[in-house]
Structure 1
Amino acid sequence: MQFEEEQTVTEISEYFNQQETQTLSEVEILGRVVSSLLYSRYPVTNKAIIEGLIRQLEQDSNVSNQQGCRNLLELVLLSTQDDVI
């Protein structure tokens, strides 16, 4: 009986861990970053998006999501390459 309870707890834990590491598309990642900026009432600028993507990259443990953040960072940085930092 106790073994079944432990197995159930393990299954529930694995289910929620899978949900946390869900792979997102690049559009979803960018949408989350922009939504976070809007919710916090920060202006949506290239600099703010870059900061948000870096924060997302540092916090996410999913390798696919990290690569998506890197791809988005590359796109944003290439579109702002002439800007003075």
Structure 2
Amino acid sequence: MENEIILQKLNRIEKYICGLKNILNVEELCEYTGFKKSFIYKLVHEAKIPYSKPNGKMLFFEKKKIDEWLLQNSHKPESEIKMDAFRYKKTR
């Protein structure tokens, strides 16, 4: 029981430390996004995700660019769309 508590706390610390990093490797990106390694490699192969490969082998990802990429196709909630339509109608 005590070992499980310690492992849970270590996992939380690991995730916190990963959240502080600006540059992530593939494993850290998996933890950060919840994507599987194979999916990340597929995204890299198809050039759909921003990455860097400085030494020709290892992949690195800038967290800021990943965040922007993850949020690039965001959709407004219905309430915000209605408010935009109301404002538009009011100004016309």
Q: What TM-score comes out, normalization by structure 2 length?
A: 0.29
Larger RCO (CA within 8 A; separation ≥ 6):
1
More helix by share: 1
Q: What TM-score comes out, normalization by structure 1 length?
A: 0.31
Q: Which has the larger radius of gyration?
A: 2
More strand by share: 2
